[in-house]
């Protein structure tokens, strides 16, 4: 297995993805689009191409453990499929023949780069980043200060009111939803991919809190709640109260509203972002149960 005890910046992700693809010829690697700064957004797929589950990570710059978790899980799936060995107690290879897995390890590559390497990674937006942030290690947004998970077209106007009530009315390290929904290429890339591919379900990985969110509005399918309850049972993560989470603007919210199919947000780890790299292995052990179940349930 690849060493995942590393900071998954652009170059490191590329090395990891290349080495997985070299080893397992049945993996499909493509790009879903480009970030504001022109960084490519990777998509990896394994298994059946008709019925697919989508896992996305790295929405928020400092939440890089989610990137590592998705890459590691993907490699484990490929290994199990090739060698016909179990993963997390399941014959995952057989399940993947029925329900394929697509991952976008890093939805917001500019944000991850800024959080890991500082404002210089924002290229022509360097001065904007420096103006609004004095600690780029905590950076969450994309390179021009829009929070991708506030930029989806689901309850966006209500979310905008809440942002304004918190005095967030322009580019910010976190929680600025942009001037209109889907204003950002990273958001558009994801909605376009989902409309093209018809995923059966989607899970967005964030950190932190060891929590699960599974509903948005009245269109939430009952399977979303059942998945959340199964995830909670295998991980000990708490399911967050639907009233508190009807905030809108997020990928999960949009997916539920648009397709009326299950979508969940899973908050990995516990502490303050950025969580230290040393938390990864232990947190991954817990999360692996959820990652397996999202495919086999
Ligand atoms: Zn997040």
Q: What is the pLDDT of residue 66?
A: 98
Helices 280-296 and 222-235 pack at an angle, to 10 degrees, of 140
Q: What is the pLDDT of residue 246?
A: 53
CA of 206 to the centre of ligand 1 (A): 4
What are the structure tokens assigned to 22, written together? Answer: 């070299």
Is the confidence at residue 243, as pLDDT, over 70? no
Q: Pick from 182, 221, 165, 189: which is nearest to 34 by CA?
A: 189
Question: CA–CA separation, 37 vs 99, rounded Å?
Answer: 34
Ligand 1 is an ion; residues with CB less than 5 A from it: 60, 63, 206
Q: Pick from 76, 187, 174: which is nearest to 133 by CA?
A: 174
Following DSSP, what letter does each residue of 131-153 receive, concatenated? Answer: HH-S-GGG--S-TTS--GGG-SS
What confidence tens digit (pLDDT) does each residue in 94-136 have? 999 999 999 999 999 999 999 999 999 999 999 999 999 999 9
CA of 26 to the centre of ligand 1 (A): 31
Q: Pick from 128, 147, 124, 126: which is nearest to 63 by CA?
A: 147
CA of 14 to the centre of ligand 1 (A): 22
CA of 45 to the centre of ligand 1 (A): 23
Question: CA–CA separation, 88 vs 82, rounded Å?
Answer: 16
CA of 98 to the centre of ligand 1 (A): 30
Pairing of strands 238-239, 40-46: unpaired
Q: What is the pLDDT of residue 252?
A: 97
Q: What is the pLDDT of residue 247?
A: 75
Total Cβ atoms within 10 A of residue 23: 13
Task: Please give the span between the terminal C-alpha atoms of the chain, in angstroms, as a whole number.
Answer: 26
What are the structure tokens assigned to 229, written together? Answer: 């309850």
| Angle ∠(104,162,269) on CA atoms, nearest 5 | 40
CA of 105 to the centre of ligand 1 (A): 13
Q: What is the pLDDT of residue 99?
A: 96
Is the confidence at residue 219, as pLDDT, over 60? yes
CA of 151 to the centre of ligand 1 (A): 13
Q: What is the pLDDT of residue 133?
A: 97
What are the structure tokens assigned to 297, written together? Answer: 């349930």
pLDDT greater at residue 140 or residue 247: 140
Q: What is the pLDDT of residue 106?
A: 98
CA of 19 to the centre of ligand 1 (A): 27
Domains and CATH numbers, the chain: 10-143+184-296 (3.40.630.10)
Q: CB burial class (10 A; 0-12, 13-18, 19+) of residue 165?
A: exposed
pLDDT-derived band at 297 (thresholds 50, 70, 90) equals very high
Beta partners for 206? 267
Pairing of strands 238-239, 211-213: parallel
pLDDT-derived band at 245 (thresholds 50, 70, 90) equals very low
Query: Do 51 and 100 touch, CB atoms closer than 8 A?
Result: yes
What confidence tens digit (pLDDT) does each residue in 35-75 have? 999 999 999 999 999 999 999 999 999 999 999 999 999 99
């Amino acid at each position: 297995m690849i060493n995942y005890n590393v900071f998954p910046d652009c170059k490191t992700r590329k090395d990891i993805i290349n080495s997985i693809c070299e080893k397992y010829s049945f993996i499909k690697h493509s790009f879903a689009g480009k970030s504001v700064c022109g960084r490519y957004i990777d998509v990896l797929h394994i298994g059946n191409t008709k019925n697919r589950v989508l896992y996305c990570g790295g929405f928020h710059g400092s939440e890089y453990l989610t990137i590592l978790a998705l890459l590691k899980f993907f490699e484990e799936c490929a290994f199990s499929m090739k060698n016909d060995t179990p993963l997390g107690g399941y014959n995952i290879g057989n399940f993947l023949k029925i329900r394929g897995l697509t991952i976008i390890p890093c939805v917001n590559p500019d944000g991850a780069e800024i959080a890991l390497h500082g404002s210089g990674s924002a290229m022509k937006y360097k001065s904007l980043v420096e103006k609004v942030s004095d600690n780029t290690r905590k950076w969450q947004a994309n390179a021009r200060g829009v929070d991708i998970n506030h930029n989806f077209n689901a309850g966006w106007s209500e979310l905008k009111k809440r942002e304004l009530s918190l005095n967030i009315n322009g580019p910010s390290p976190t929680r600025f939803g942009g001037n209109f929904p889907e204003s950002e290429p990273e958001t558009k890339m994801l909605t376009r991919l989902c409309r093209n591919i018809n995923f059966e379900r989607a899970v967005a990985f964030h950190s932190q809190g060891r929590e699960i969110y599974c509903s948005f509005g009245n269109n939430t399918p009952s399977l979303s709640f059942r998945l959340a309850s199964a995830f909670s049972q295998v991980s000990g993560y708490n399911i967050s109260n639907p009233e508190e989470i009807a905030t809108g603007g997020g990928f999960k919210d949009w997916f539920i509203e648009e397709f009326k199919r299950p979508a969940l947000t899973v908050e990995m780890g516990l502490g303050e972002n950025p969580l230290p790299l040393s938390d990864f292995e232990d947190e991954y052990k817990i999360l692996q149960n959820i990652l397996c179940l999202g495919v086999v349930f």
